[in-house]
Amino acid sequence: MSVLLDLGIRLLVLAADRAPDKLTIRETAEICAASHAHLAKAANRLVKGGFLCSLRGRRGGLKLALPPEAIDLGAVVQSLLGSQPACHVRDEVLVGWRRVQEEAASAYIRHLAERTLSDIL
């Protein structure tokens, strides 16, 4: 699992647990023993994806933008991982392997799209 994906899921779970209160990157970094920079990057992607809302200022923080049952885990994963660039494999033997990997990744996202954040809380 990628670091951003792991931290993004942790942010969503903690934000749901803290609702209706806000969650900060600083306290999440302490709880998860994680890098502030990595958490900020994951939070930024989740805010851009519409899963978290960011409240700026002295009393700012992060909150869920949607109820947990409306947060599609497949969309969360795609938001956190972004679009993975296609690997242009020159070796004909590995072209088939890349196709199998892409099919597996698609099946993974389809499976997660059937689940919501409330399923893992």
pTM attached to this predicted model:
0.86
pLDDT at position 52 is 98
pLDDT top residue among 94 and 36: 36
CA distance readout (Å), 73 to 15, 35, 92: 15, 23, 34
**Are 78 and 113 spatial neighbours (Cβ–Cβ below 8 Å)?**
no
Mean pLDDT of 52-59: 92
pLDDT at position 53 is 96
**Residue 4, H or E segment:** helix 3-18
- Encode pLDDT of 101-115 as tens digits: 889 989 999 999 999
Mean confidence (pLDDT) of the chain: 91
